[in-house]
Amino acid sequence: MGLLSRIFRRKAALTPDLADEIRRSFEEAASDEEHFPSSIDPRILHVRAVIEGVAPLQAGGRVLDAGCGKGRFAVHVKRAYPQALVVALDLATAMLRPAPPELGRVAGSMLELPFPEECFDAAYATESLEHAVDIEAAVGELCRVLKPGGRLVIIDKNARQWGRLETPPWEKWFREEELLRLLRRHCRRSSCRPISYWEDAAPDGLFLCWTAVK
């Protein structure tokens, strides 16, 4: 058994029952504004990392927010690139309802993105890959829909910090090298760095930011 298979074997079985459980949990969570807010301060470094990471995004360009929640990141990407098409995808239709109409709102799974190959100039996933269960398939899908030269940003939690937060049973956090190995299957360039929330605060190890170019 290869290293990647061993890494992801623990939580790679997405049964129909588990898929339904995850979907229901986010449909219900859409009413929880405290833990699933519909807005985010644009000064937060996660927002800035996404906006900078998907650049350059010209007029007519397309960017995918995979696992967008209520579209809080997508709103700021659209403001930064008003001529671009920003597509906000989420598993839960209730999450999509608060997203503003200038976004392209699509209900769907990260494991089967409802888009053709090579149709996006950029894509990002912020604290959403951790819920995909089949991580290898989700990364493959994100890269499949990117054009050659397309840019990808993933911001998620560091497995070395596991236990700091309460998590649902299906959630997975990542070590830097785990996602880099997957990204290198599809992308010619990839990197990872720790990231904090605020510019004046050093990273505390909880979040990592992966970037890649297909």
Residue 206 exposure: Cα atoms within 13 Å on the Cβ side: 10
pLDDT at 8: 40
Q: What is the pLDDT of residues 137-195, one digit of tens each?
A: 999 999 999 999 999 999 999 999 999 999 999 999 999 999 999 999 999 999 999 99
189-195 vs 146-157, strand pairing mode: unpaired
Q: What is the mean pLDDT of residues 76-94?
A: 97
| Angstrom distance (rounded) from CA 161 to CA 207 | 9
6, pLDDT greater than 90:
no
> If you count DSSP H runs as helices and E runs as strands, how many of each does the chain have, helices first?
7, 7
Residue with tokens 């560091």: 158
What 3-state class would DSSP assign to 196? coil
Q: Where are the domains of the chain?
A: 3-213
CA distances for 44 relative to 39, 68, 72, 96, 97, angstroms: 11, 17, 12, 22, 24
pLDDT at 12: 58
Considering only the top CATH level, what class is 3-213?
Answer: alpha beta
132, pLDDT greater than 50:
yes
11, pLDDT greater than 60:
no
9, pLDDT greater than 90:
no
Using only C-alpha atoms, the chain has a radius of gyration, in whole angstroms, of 16
